[in-house]
Amino acid sequence: MSDETETARDGMPLIGDQFPEIEAETTHGTLSLPDDYEDEWFVLFSHPGDFTPVCTSEFVAFQQRSDEFADLDANLVGLSVDRVHSHLKWTEWIDEELDVDIEFPIIADERGRVAEKLGMLHPGAGTATVRSVFLVDPDGVLRLILYYPMEIGRNIDEILRSLKALQLSDDEDVAVPGDWPDNQKFGDKVLLSPPSDAEGVEARLEAAEDEDYDCKDWWFCLEDA
């Protein structure tokens, strides 16, 4: 591995890595990640700055869908490089002007230490955190990373869909097709992992005749979710 790769690897966690231990000040007090959400999922998302229109619309959207995240045992956590005081005044404005009470904690990463550790500070973005989303599982493993440009607000449906898909994959040892659960060709069916050897291929073909599988070939088998 080159020195450059090692530096990039050490600079930010990747999918499948353990989420780094972080202690940060938030609008709800001190938060330790991932320890404070042990045995639970959490969704950490950053925004470029308080009192900005796209970020405001996103925080309202996350809060309005918070019950759906809670139903999936997932906690919401926001972050930007603004101070706690700014976060509090901003959420106060959202409550007064938009009638939405932001109930999840927002990390005040004033010195950018958390954002830098997680790769939330990109060249060209100045000191503002880019729109990042991190899905972390109950074992503290980073399972999904999404980045959005400053001009585009996030799609909450996609974040919820990804969370549901990951949980289903963990529980049933399956994969999900594109656009699941509304795939135009396969609906909400899920995909079985392809066999890894000749014996597994034969067993899969035999099982396909007896089980409730929809196999197009030995490597492409679907079943009901």
* pLDDT tens digits, 94-138: 999 999 999 999 999 887 788 888 877 765 555 566 789 999 999
Are residue 195 and residue 93 in the same domain, yes or no? no
Q: Do both 150 and 185 map to the same domain?
A: no
Average pLDDT over residues 4-27: 77
Same domain, 147 and 203: no
Say if 167 falls within a structural domain: no
The reply to whether 177 and 81 lie within a common domain is: no
Residue 53 shares a structural domain with residue 124: yes
In sequence order, the 6+-apart residues with CB closer than 8 A to the CB of 45 are: 58, 62, 76, 77, 78, 79, 131, 132, 133, 134, 154
The CATH number of whichever domain residue 66 belongs to comes to 3.40.30.10
Query: What is the model's pTM?
Result: 0.89
- Report if residue 93 sits inside a domain: yes
Q: Select from 99, 128, 155 the last residue of a domain.
A: 155
CATH of the domain at 188: 3.30.1020.10
**Domains in the chain: how many in total?**
2
Same domain membership, residue 149 and residue 179: no
Residues 63 and 82: their CA atoms lie apart, in Å, by 19
Residues 39 and 90 in one domain: yes
Are 121 and 178 in the same domain?
no
Which residues carry out catalysis? 55
Instruction: Look at the block and give the residue holding tokens 């440009």.
Output: 149
Q: Does 206 fall in a domain? A: yes
Residue 51 identity:
F
**Computed over its alpha carbons, how large is the radius of gyration of the chain?**
20
pLDDT for the residue numbered 218: 87
Domain that holds residue 67: 3-155
| pLDDT at site 124 | 56
Q: What is the pLDDT of residues 70-100, one digit of tens each?
A: 999 999 999 988 999 999 999 999 999 999 9
pLDDT band at 213 (very low <50, low <70, confident <90, very high): confident
